[in-house]
Amino acid sequence: MPSRTIPLLICRDIQASYDFLLNAFGLRPGGVFRDGAGNVVHGELLAGDTTIWLHRLAPEHRLEAPTEIASSGLVVLVDDVDAHFAHAKAAGARVLSEPTDQFYGQREYGALDADGHRWWFATPLAEVSR
């Protein structure tokens, strides 16, 4: 089996986070999974070819949603970063930075989701020599 990475986001309310990420950031649905009592226990979203898992808070495993200060985040490439930004902002995403051309060859903006996860969305501008 080829190697694969699956980002895992810890969420206070998996269903609310799932709905927000679908609506504000335009991720595609992968499903919400419930236990026998009907409680949401897992969510999956798709960004391009990447599946993102949504996980419940689990203090017993030290899995907590981030605060405004986080040490990691996700970068998602989109076709039109300016249109994506306008949609995400209108849908209530907390903007960290507006779309800006970067010296490393992409136009990007940053935002926080409802749980405080950091997201950057970008559109490549041109090939950059490495």
Computed from CA positions of residues 115, 90, 29, 70, in that sequence, does the dihedral angle turn out positive or negative? Answer: negative
CATH code: domain 8-63+71-124 is 3.10.180.10
How many CB atoms are located within 10 Å of the residue 20 CB?
Answer: 20
Ranges of each domain in the chain: 8-63+71-124
In terms of phi and psi (left: phi > 0; alpha: psi -120 to 50; beta: otherwise), the region of 26 is: left
Q: Identify the DSSP state of 129.
A: -
pTM of the model: 0.82
Give the tens place of pLDDT for each residue, 45-75.
Answer: 999 999 999 998 888 888 888 875 666 789 9
Q: Kindly state the tokens that stand for 41.
A: 């226990």
Answer yes or no: is pLDDT of 126 > 80: no
